[in-house]
Each structure stands twice: as C-alpha cells, then as structure tokens.
Amino acid sequence: NSISVDTLPRANSRVMTSEFGRDLLMGLAQTPRSIPPKYFYDAVGSALFDRICDLPEYYLTRTEQTILSTHASEIAEWIGPHAEIVEFGAGSLKKIQTLLDAFDTDRSPARYLPIDISGEHIAQAAAQLRARYPTLLVQPIIGDYTAPLTLPPTDTRIGQRVGFFPGSTLGNFHPDEALAFLRSAAGMLRGGSLLIGIDLIKHPARLHAAYNDSQGVTAAFNLNVLRRANNELGADFDTDQFNHHAIYHPVLQRIEMHLISRREQTVSIGDQRVLFSEGDTIHTESSYKYTIDGFRSLAVKAGFRAGPVWTDRERQFSVHWLHA
C-alpha cells in the first residue's frame, strides 16, 4: 500500500485544510468570481501595501496621518486619562504612536490591545512599543477582529475603552457587513468610544489614480494574491496572464479591484481545475467611499452617538469620534 500514493487527495487536502484554500475555491465557484481581500496580506502583500501607502497617488494613509497629528491633542482630550485602546487590525503598531505621543505622561493610556491576525509581526512590534512607552501595558490579541472576541477584564484604574479603527479598512466591508461590524463594536465598546478613519467620496479621477498608480505597485499587490495561492496551496496561476483592473463604481460608491484573465486558461488548485475565458474577472476588493453624513448615519444606525469629525482641507479623508 505504500506505493499506491494518490497525489490528488494530498494536493487537495493542502487546499482544504487551509482557510485560504477553502475561501479561494468557494470564491472562484461563485458568479461573479471573487477572493476576499483579507488574503492580500501575506508577508509580500503587507510589504507591497506599505509601499502603496508611500505612493504619491495614494492619499489615504498620508491624509489620515496628517489629520491625526494635526488634531492629536484634541483627540487626546476626547480619549481622556488612563484609557484602554483597542485597535482593530493593528499591523505594525505605527498609527497608535501619534495618539500616544499626544498625552501628558500622567494622563497617558493605561492599556493598549492591538488585534491582528498576523502573530509574528505583532509580538515584535509590541516589544518595540513597550520599550518606547514603558508605562503602557501592551497586550496583543492574535485573531480575526471581525469575529466576536472576549477582551481581558478592565479594572477601576483604567479609563474609558476606546476602539481605534484607522485606514478606512471598514471600506472593505459591504454596507451590511459594515453595519454588522459597527453594531458588534458598539456592543464591545459600550460606555466608551470608537475613533475611526473613513475615506470620502471625491472626484472619480482622484480615486482612479489612487488605485491605478503609475509605478504599478497596486497592480503587483492585487496580483500577489494569485502568487500567494501558488506558494501556499500549490496552485498554478500564471500571474502574467491576468491584468490588474481598478475602477470606481459611482452608483455603489466603491472602488472595485479585479483581476482579468488575458486569455482562455485553466488553473489547478488542489484537485480542482478552474477554467477562465478571456476577459473573465475575479473581484478581489471593494473599497467603499462615504460622505461624512452618510457614514455618521450608518454609525447611528449601528448604535453609536456621533461626535466630532476631523477632516483635511481638501476633505479627502475623515476621522470620526463615535460614542458607544
């Protein structure tokens, strides 16, 4: 029996035992085909995203950073003394530092709970943060922040609990998912607040440029999800045979990113074969844009009370304070 090795079930179990593998096959079996955007962020994808944030056309990260640093002391007032900050999808723990630096030492946040799916990344970043802010209790939570989670109990010395969800990451959620996420965040933060960054509706040309940069970094980021499937699942996507396509849909008020098959081709993923005709698309990301009032209404519907909003001069991006 040791010689009758069937490679197909083995190849397939590698796919089916992986959450990415299952989601990929499920997404490609649907019409239209799709891959959830959370799979962009392997090590290579995270590095590409960092490069996107530095692109001249990608105004989001830079503008949010400017808003946070310009209004840091006012935001620190809203946060108040000895707060607990829970960050959703914290990544490299860089954005929190702008907020932490805005406090007088005697009012500084007491505890910081960064939530992220990538474990190795966060432990190292947490160590660096502790070195910089010795009085801050940094307790990383490794997990998916879209799933309900239990936070460690607070104690009476800790001030209000403040959720921090920067980067317009909520934009990746479809409106019904965004509402559900905000509802569960409101529950988890009850009595506290949420500080959230939201990208704003603007001239489509500007949005188009941000997702179709001249250096092709966004294209590489988009195509990287196929390379990841090859690496992790043994799929055989030919990344040269797919084109990056990103377009603003003014009715749905979202950027859509797609990968478009350049020709008829068959791709193997485990024991599955997926046929693409020329021009077939894989929808890899939606990035919803909001008006300030539109987002505030959504937050109110989710159980928050809308507080102050900070924006930049050109009203490209917004940072909202919401009472839970």
Q: Which of 246, 253, 255 is nearest to 295 (CA)?
A: 253
Residue closer to ligand AVJ, measured from CB, 16 or 53? 53
Site track for ligand AVJ across 280-319, x = CB under 6 A:
-----x-x--------------------------------
Q: Kindly identify the residues of this chain, within the stretch 205-224, that bind ligand AVJ according to CB under 6 A.
A: 211, 218
* Sequence letter at residue 212: N
Distance (Å) of CA 112 to CA 89, 129, 162: 13, 10, 10
Q: Kindly identify the residues of this chain, within the stretch 245-264, that bind ligand AVJ according to CB under 6 A.
A: none
Distance (Å, whole) CA 66 – CA 26 = 40
- Return the residue of 11, 24, 52, 68 that touches ligand AVJ, per CB under 6 A: 52
Q: Compute the least distance from the CB of residue 153 to ligand AVJ, in Å.
A: 31
Distance (Å, whole) CA 48 – CA 228 = 13
Residue at shortest CB range from ligand AVJ = 287
Residue closer to ligand AVJ, measured from CB, 168 or 318? 168
Q: Compute the least distance from the CB of residue 285 to ligand AVJ, in Å.
A: 6
* Strands, E assignment, the chain: 33-34, 84-88, 111-116, 137-138, 141-142, 161-165, 193-199, 242-249, 254-261, 265-269, 272-276, 281-288, 305-311, 317-323
Q: Kindly identify the residues of this chain, within the stretch 53-82, that bind ligand AVJ according to CB under 6 A.
A: 60
Q: Compute the least distance from the CB of residue 67 to ligand AVJ, in Å.
A: 15
Q: Kindly identify the residues of this chain, within the stretch 156-185, that bind ligand AVJ according to CB under 6 A.
A: 167-169, 171-172
Work out whether 34 is an interface residue with ligand AVJ (CB under 6 A). Answer: no
Q: What is the 3-state secondary structure (H, E, C) of 183-213?
A: HHHHHHCCCCEEEEEEEECCCHHHHHHHHCC
Distance (Å, whole) CA 25 – CA 11 = 13
Query: Could you list the residues that contact ligand AVJ (CB under 6 A)?
Result: 52, 60, 167-169, 171-172, 211, 218, 285, 287
